[in-house]
Amino acid sequence: MDKVLSIVCAYFPNNERLSSLVRSLLEAGDVIVVNNGGTIQLDVPAGPHHASVIDSGRNLGTLASYNLVIKQKQTYSHFWLWNQDSEISPEDVRAFVTKAEQCFSSDPATVCVTVFDKKNFVSPLNRHLILAKESTSILSRERLQKLLPEWFDEKLFMDYGDWDFSYRLYRAGGQVSQIHGIHIGHQLGEPEKTVFGAMNRSSPMRLHMQGINTAYLLRKHGPFNFPNALLTARLFFVPFKNFLFKDSIKRNRQFLSGVLSGIKGGLSSTYATNLNRGMK
């Protein structure tokens, strides 16, 4: 691959952990961290590739952060998407890029390469339809721009943006390739002890946005496709799972009120913007 730009979305990050991620990503090319809030201090060595920080001025959310950098940096051939909670070694960075380059070279329909996940299929009926993860996927700028005029839907502030992106990509004729043998760590949610052991849980605020996004994507794409069928199933699964955690009533109220807001036309991006204004 020619020029690779890694984009890291950050919001009040742990600077030590963020610096470790950036140091590894510099093995592949330049890195830009989008600062959506907090103070970022990168501790990275000088070298052939450059790391920089863009202050967005407000919390844009993951998808809008990616779009912001992609629109500004059209000289790069590939964009590698990350968030602040990811971990990868320099060795796995080099291995990922090598394997991704082989995928792009061997299949002209491939526009995105992601890491292996046995649950990462968009449809179990077609194992060639692979979910392009919102974080850790690498994209070909030129190939993707021929298929999708809009990269990521910024109306989805948090969660399910990768489902929307993957569905639109496959409808446009694009292909996602999946590579094996790469380890990427990621801290998902907040662990809490339950009767089934420690499980990750989303915050009530995030649950509310998940509810909004569920209704939004059902309105956008309709119910008759596999990604949205999964979202419909989550309408029943999420409330059940919430009863395993503390404050289950509050959590379910937030999720279901989000679904109702989404049915009425509400957007998680608008909700997040109003929330940020109220915190100032």
Give the class (CATH, top level) of 4-186.
alpha beta
Summarised one tens digit per residue, pLDDT across range 63-100 is: 999 999 999 999 999 999 999 989 999 999 999 999 99
**Residue among 202, 205, 215 at smallest CA distance from 261:** 215
Quick one: angle between helices 204-221 and 226-242, nearest 10? Answer: 150
Residue 151 three-state SS: coil
Domain ranges of the chain: 4-186, 190-279
Residue 24 three-state SS: helix
What is the pLDDT, as a whole number, of residue 279?
56
Task: Count Cβ atoms below 10 Å from residue 72 Cβ, excluding itself.
Answer: 10
**Of residues 267 and 194, more confidently modeled:** 267
**Residue among 155, 150, 157 at smallest CA distance from 171:** 150
* pLDDT reading at 236 higher than 60: yes
Question: What is the token pair recorded at 14?
Answer: 């742990």
Q: State the Cα–Cα distance between residues 206 and 110, nearest whole angstrom.
A: 32
To which residue do tokens 């339809």 refer?
Answer: 129
C-alpha distance from residue 265 to each of 42, 53, 159, 163, 256 (Å): 40, 34, 17, 19, 14
Summarised one tens digit per residue, pLDDT across range 106-154 is: 999 999 999 887 666 666 666 677 888 888 999 999 999 999 988 999 9
Reported as type and span, the H/E element at residue 214 is helix 204-221
Strand partners, 55: 35
Residue 21 three-state SS: helix
Length of the chain: 280
Average pLDDT, the chain: 89
